[in-house]
Chains A and B, each alone.
Chain A
Amino acid sequence: GESVGLHLPTLSVQEGDNSIINCAYSNSASDYFIWYKQESGKGPQFIIDIRSNMDKRQGQRVTVLLNKTVKHLSLQIAATQPGDSAVYFCAVYSGGYQKVTFGIGTKLQVIP
């Protein structure tokens, strides 16, 4: 089965600094990866995704890096803002829309 872990439960970052949130997975057949953001009182919100045929993908202020060799996924947020404060978790797909494993989540706290 798939296990998905995160390296840190809580990450505190100064406003304006860059944030890096990590995720490790175990199934080498995993082929699609998503980062979600969950603010307090809300459901998870899609941020960015990446497929296994890529190792980097950029969005607006966010970058996802995929290292298939060590089965590691990271989310980088540039110039972190107070509105970025939330729980971030990864989702790892290992066989289509029914085979999704989620990480526990990292709580990002932005210090003004």
Chain B
Amino acid sequence: ETGVTQTPRHLVMGMTNKKSLKCEQHLGHNAMYWYKQSAKKPLELMFVYSLEERVENNSVPSRFSPECPNSSHLFLHLHTLQPEDSALYLCASSQEYRNSPLHFGNGTRLTVT
């Protein structure tokens, strides 16, 4: 049990579909993140929320839309995705201070067909 739970674990969607990824953290952290992990590439930061406010949007296409209703929950809404968006999407949380480790969920493996 990682303390950060992501659902679903796997998702296959067509390019015209709309779906959402969900993340919940049980660690009492106040910052939450979405990362994209593609093969043979380093983790790419997509969004950061601190105290429920988005503090970082790392030039992510508008077809990805995050939502953070409270400090324990984070969503990533997906619509009209492209095949190159297929990847592992990781949610993480941390305490909002200078040097604090990230705690990751097990990710959602997304395949866009």
Contacts and interface: CB of A to CB of B under 8 A. Distances in A.
A50 to B, nearest CB: 10
Interface residues of B, number: 28
Given A44-B102, A46-B101, A97-B31, 10 more contacts: A4-B42, A43-B105, A44-B43, A46-B102, A49-B101, A97-B48, A97-B98, A98-B55, A102-B43, A104-B42
Of B2, B4, B90, B102, most buried by chain A (CB within 10 Å of CB) is B102
A105 B105 CA distance: 18
16 contacts: A4-B42, A32-B98, A32-B99, A34-B102, A43-B6, A43-B92, A44-B90, A44-B102, A89-B43, A96-B98, A96-B99, A97-B95, A97-B97, A98-B48, A98-B55, A100-B102
Given A43-B107, A44-B104, A97 B96 contact: yes
Contact of B99 (A36, A97, A104): A97
Interface residues of A, number: 25
B89 to A, nearest CB: 10
Interface in A73-95: 89, 91, 93
A64 to B, nearest CB: 13
Most buried by B among A4, A32, A102: A102
B45 interface: yes
B68 to A, nearest CB: 15
A101 interface: yes
B41 A43 contact: no
Contact of B42 (A43, A51, A93, A102): A102
